[in-house]
Amino acid sequence: MAKKSGSKKDLQDLMIFRHKEGPKGKKPDNFLVEKTNTTDKIKITNRLSTQGTHYRYSILLDNENSTPISNIKISVFYPKLLKFTGSYPLSVIISSLIEDKKEKNNVINLEMKGLKDKTSQRIYLHYTPSSQLDNGEFKTSLKYTNNKGEENTINSNSINIKIDDIVIIPKIISHSRIREISQIPGMKRALISLGIGTKKKVNYKKIFEIFENLVLSYDFQFITRDKEKGIFWFFGFETKSSNDILSLCKIGSNVIEIITYSTNPIILGFFLYSFTKNLKQQLSSYKIINPKTKIFELDCVNCGETLPYFPKKDESITCIKCSYEQIVW
């Protein structure tokens, strides 16, 4: 995946990387809440998920009425232990970001001119974890004016988040169970793609050794490790959250890909943030790369989705999700 032409070829040995919907189940999702004004037929749906090394708080506004609404104001309360890093789409205006030292939550205020009848609008807010271990909650308050000129409010239920130390117990599973685990109902999936910003060919076998030692430091159980192909699969049980973590990784000459599965998006996001941060530090401290060399997280600067490949320097690349054209480095 280091080169555009080789992107698909590099993944042929890891068919599990191609995500497919698993069997449907009715297990409740603690990270999704809905609230509806039945009179105006306005519904707000909130979901907390993992997007790369970030948390994504999504807001879906549904106007199921035959009349539009206007003067939309949204307040999102989020935990101080997270850092706000961006929003999507650009048409949604962030009117203010309030950091209150006395309160446990910060507040982001958003504005929209309106929402036409029988339409919907999805908003993404992205947050980065920190080393702070704590708990908190996300909540949304929606205010709008209906076609009668009445101002109404919908207050969402909260989505709780608790970030704690990661404590892994190694767990052995067979290769045949990997696809089964990835398709468990309610299983969450996050992809990280890192591009090493240098025109020089990096010794990926040295990166492999650093990566291997880092995985062992977390006490994961290796399922597969192939130095020639640059492949790692590892598995473990996170004791504090009582969740399994499955990770599938591929190391190339200048690209590192990590796909991780867990039913808990909080532990999934914090593990990927922690692991990626440590990996970057060790690649620099062990002089595998030049200290001035940047390691890019290949996320779209517009919507946050993972870019399809690592482009060459000064080469533009278009996000396959939102069609936004950008230059990575």
**pLDDT tens digits, one per residue of 49-83:** 999 999 999 999 999 999 999 999 999 999 999 99
3-state secondary structure 231-266: EEEEEEEECCCCEEEEEEEEECCCEEEEEEEECCHH
**Which has the closest alpha carbon to 60: 142, 118, 120?**
120
Amino acid at 239: T
pLDDT band at 14 (very low <50, low <70, confident <90, very high): very low
Q: What average pLDDT is seen over the chain?
A: 89
pLDDT 10s digits, 35-48: 999 999 999 999 99
The stretch 239-251 carries a mean pLDDT of 95
- Element (H or E) spanning 43, and its range? strand 42-51
222 Cβ contact list (under 8 Å, min separation 6): 215, 232, 233, 234
pLDDT band at 26 (very low <50, low <70, confident <90, very high): low
- Element (H or E) spanning 283, and its range? helix 265-285
**Which has the closest alpha carbon to 218: 172, 165, 150, 162?**
165
Contact (CB, 8 A) for 145 and 71? yes
DSSP per-residue codes, 168-206? EEE----GGGHHHHHTSTT-EEEEEEEEE--SSPP-HHH
pLDDT band at 289 (very low <50, low <70, confident <90, very high): confident
pLDDT 10s digits, 309-328: 999 999 999 999 999 999 99
Q: Which of 15-24, 237-246, 256-265 has the lowest mean pLDDT?
A: 15-24
Q: d(Cα 329, Cα 322) in Å, to the nearest integer?
A: 20
**Which residue has better confidence, 18 or 193?**
193
